[in-house]
Structures are given as structure tokens and as C-alpha cells.
Amino acid sequence: MGGWNRSNIPDQTGRTVIVTGATSGLGEATARALAAAGAQVIMACRNEIKAQAVARTMTGNVQIRQLDLADLASVRAFATGVERADVLINNAGVMAVPKQRTADGFELQIGTNYLGHFALTGLLMDRISERVVNTSSLTHFIGRIDLDDLNWERRAYSRFGAYAQSKLALLLFTYELQRRLTLTGSPKLAVAAHPGYAATEISSETENLLEQIVGLGNRLVAQSAEMGALPTLYAATAEVEPGGYYGPDRFNWRGHPTRVNSSAASHDEKTARQLWELSERLTGVEFDI
């Protein structure tokens, strides 16, 4: 698989792909590549004006629809307007921001990165014909799921702890979703990807000295958003293993997509089931699988 790049993307003509957070960084690079390969791409974005400006620079069939993952009413409204899609790419996210709440009272990072995507996937599951791709992160290795305080109501808040928890939650969700699909005999796939260390705008939202440190790392070490998007593009278009996890082939940091390992915590089936049940209660969304 080494060396897989955009030129290896199969012809996407006739396929419809939803990409959340497609106005910048990994999401933009993903949407741009898929549209150029012939897919009808639905850019699911919070900022429609910014999305329109980005879409004008793309080649291919691109549609823009408003979606705020930090507001379940917006998630439901978006899902209502989707007739069908072959692939859902859950890419949008916020990283290491100060403690904030979503419209529904969730901690912003778990609410946006995970619970919003959990709800979106559940609402669209009957109209997704092929696969769901969740974007995780290397930080999931330091993540810890606190089922008793998922939304940081009692714990001392940690920006990176909250981010890592949300990315671990996405992997637990991916693997549990695949187990349930397999159990019912569904041909649909749940897979995950991570970009390694890629320079994107998400790292500019930390609002403190860390932003300057990350910015320096972006200039000296990080690969481009285009390279960081390759594992997601692979997960979305290539022949993949059910429940597979894909990332860069050079020490998980840089390079071309390959199958990678995730933490032991991400494979904890009991925690995955409990997180799923909690997520259904918090979002009010139950999966029809």
C-alpha cells in the first residue's frame, strides 16, 4: 500500500460523499480530491459563506449544506435534507479550546467531535449505502473515557484531555458500529483514519501560548493537509477491512496511508457498549441497524 496517493483514487462518478468540516484543512483537501475524482460532494459546514468561497475553487460537483455539529437541532435539520449518500466522512472538529458548552449543554469538544457525529451517523444510517469514515487522532492514545463525567461537569477541565477523549470516543464508536453491522449481516462498513501530524487550521483554535508552539511545529515538522487527508481518502475509496484504522506509514506521523494500530482502550468492548448507550441517551438518537 506504500505510496498510495490522490492519483490512486478510483473513479468516483455516481457516488455521493458527505464531508463534515470541509471548509479548511483536512476536510477541504478531502472534499477537493473527491470532487475532482468525480464524486458529488456535499460540504457539510457551519459557515456557509466560507464554504461558498472554498467551493468556487474546486473542480467537480460540489454542494453546500449548513451543519453545526454543536447543535443537535442543526444536525437533525441537516439529516432531514439528505436523500442518500454512499459515504459519510465525519471529519469536522475543534481542538484544545477553552471550556465551552454546545447548544445542548455538552462539553464543546466531546459534543462537536463525537456526539454530533454520533447523532449525524445514526440519523443518516438508513441512507448511507456503503461506509462511514471517522477521523480520529494520535492523541487518542492518551485519551480516557469517563462515562460518569463525559461532559466535564465535575472533573477539572483539561483542554487536551477533552480533545483526546473525543478522539478515543470516535474509535470506540467506529469499532462498535462495525461489530453491530457485522452482527446483522449488513454489508456497510465503519472505518477510521488519522492524519498523523498535519498542518491544519484546527491547531490555531487553542487560543493560548500552545498555539504558537503548535504553529512552530507545523512549520518545522508537520506534513501538508493534502498529505494528512490521504488516510481519510483511502478509508473512503479503497478496498478496506471492516473496522479498519488507517494512518501515515512513517511512524504514524507522516507519509502515505497504511493500516495502523490503535490503543488497547479503543478496543475495550464493554466501554464501547456503555459509551454507545450513553450517547443514545444524551443525543436522543437510536441507530436502526
Residues annotated catalytic, as ranges: 163
Q: Closest Cα to residue 172, out of 21, 274, 248, 260? A: 274
| H helix runs in the chain, sequence order | 25-36, 48-55, 72-80, 108-109, 116-124, 159-183, 209-220, 225-228, 230-237, 269-283
| DSSP helix/strand/coil, 135 | strand
CA distance 29 to 223: 13
From CA 27, how far away is CA 182, in angstroms rounded? 28
* 39-62: b (≥16 Cβ within 10 Å) or e: bbbbbbbbeeeebeebbeebebeb
How is residue 253 written as a grid cell?
506521523
Q: Where are the beta strands (DSSP E) in 37-153?
A: 40-45, 61-66, 85-90, 128-135
